[in-house]
Structure 1
């Protein structure tokens, strides 16, 4: 049963070490994410699953202890899924095991910053090729795996909000993101499930499959919901929201 879910964005700039001198620009987003993660802990889950997009087809399960990092952004910062405490500098790895995709690495960083110890953690990466029905099925499966399940759902909206955005300017972006914001604010699972993969791909809205996992996990249950933050500071839409079981 889903008892709580936090929706957070997953840009690498959310990590201050990556953002560098521009870190303060996303302080309000970080504060909203911290509020949402703290609320997950307060819900007393038996299990937490970090769900986020990946470039692969998915779904791919990442167990507790899976490492990740931000080396691709010139920062020797390493994180480990499900390990509390402040992330540290890179350490030599033994073996060539699987690593966290960026979205789950940012999620692991958020949990470490919050000192998460409330419940065991695992990760689920979902890909852009996953159809809405399959995403929802994954959510229902997660919700059924424990009596009290919480989700940390990572994902960004469109990357086409202005001419500086990674996807340049697309007039469809604002209406699309506004619709997602309304769905997250009202826990509208039907609206999230109805998001079409094709326009999401065209707008580079990478969070679409992760939001549909959330919709499947919540199902028809009544959820109290709040939209904690919504904006597009770099031409990419970021959402932070909190859902809790009523």
Structure 2
């Protein structure tokens, strides 16, 4: 059963070494992520599953001990997802950011596993995956990585799309309220058009939280670089 969840953004820029001189711009987001992870630990889960967007190579299960790096972003920095034997398949960037975040907060509350979710996964299938995750143990926690739209400004990765602000507002409201129905109702084709990588992981969370009776709190909401970033805690 799902007992707690944290929602965090997953840009590699969250890692100060990657952001370099621009690192202070995301200090508030990093602090909020740390607070959300601390609430996960306080829930005393038996297992923590990290869920994040992934391409075809990175999707699927990543066992404890899986490693990743930020070399593709110009930084010779490696990370590992929990404690376990070395895994040949590298973590996708979203789970590498999660591994960095857990290491930064010195996570030791429960064993950790990862799940890379394809952007193409439909809402109903996401919910099914979430229900399976929630059934893994009596006390399951999720760390859900994902960004909102990437079309909030002219300089955003996806350029300016007038629909982006409304989409992000809907997503932020749903994540902050732990409103599983509203999250499940997010428009997948629109999310794809707006390059909102968090849609599928969020809908996995919605499936896992069905019937759990969790309350939510939005800890951070902003759109630096024209991308919607949200941090929420459910408990």
TM-score, structure 2 normalization: 0.97
What is the CA distance between 1:167 and its match in structure 2? 0.1
For residue 115 of structure 1, the aligned residue among 106, 127, 140 is: 106
- Contact 1:57-1:126 within 8 A present in 2 as well: no
- Contact 2:48-2:141 within 8 A present in 1 as well: yes
Residue of structure 2 in register with 1:15 after alignment: 15
- Structure 1 gap segments, 5+ residues each: 85-93
Tell me, what secondary structure is at the counterpart of 1:163? coil
1:212-231 equivalences under 5 Å are 212-231=203-222
For residue 117 of structure 2, the aligned residue among 126, 143, 150 is: 126
Tell me, what secondary structure is at the counterpart of 1:234? helix
1:200-234 deviations in Å (ceiling 9; x for gaps):
00000000000000000000332111000000011
Residue of structure 2 in register with 1:90 after alignment: none
Residue of structure 2 in register with 1:31 after alignment: 31
TM-score, structure 1 normalization: 0.93
Superposed CA RMSD in Å reads 1.5
Range with bigger deviation, 30-39 or 189-198: 189-198
For residue 142 of structure 2, the aligned residue among 139, 151, 159 is: 151
Distance of 1:115 and 1:63 partners within structure 2: 19
Tell me, what secondary structure is at the counterpart of 1:21? helix
1:122-173 deviations in Å (ceiling 9; x for gaps):
0001011101011000100000010000000000000000001000000000
Residue of structure 2 in register with 1:234 after alignment: 225
1:201 matches 2:184: no
Q: Classify 1:212/1:62 alpha carbon distance in 2 versus 1 (closer, same or farther; 3 Å).
A: same
Distance of 1:2 and 1:122 partners within structure 2: 15
- Contact 1:56-1:128 within 8 A present in 2 as well: no
Distance of 1:9 and 1:65 partners within structure 2: 22
What is the CA distance between 1:52 and its match in structure 2? 0.2
Distance of 1:14 and 1:239 partners within structure 2: 12
Distance of 1:57 and 1:134 partners within structure 2: 19
For residue 165 of structure 1, the aligned residue among 153, 156, 159 is: 156
Residue of structure 1 in register with 2:4 after alignment: 4
- Contact 1:228-1:242 within 8 A present in 2 as well: yes
Tell me, what secondary structure is at the counterpart of 2:82? coil
Residue of structure 2 in register with 1:72 after alignment: 72
- Contact 1:153-1:211 within 8 A present in 2 as well: yes
Distance of 1:71 and 1:83 partners within structure 2: 22
Tell me, what secondary structure is at the counterpart of 2:17? helix
For this pair of structures, how many residues does the alignment match?
234
- Structure 2 gap segments, 5+ residues each: none
1:100 matches 2:107: no
For residue 172 of structure 2, the aligned residue among 170, 181, 191 is: 181
- Contact 2:58-2:92 within 8 A present in 1 as well: no
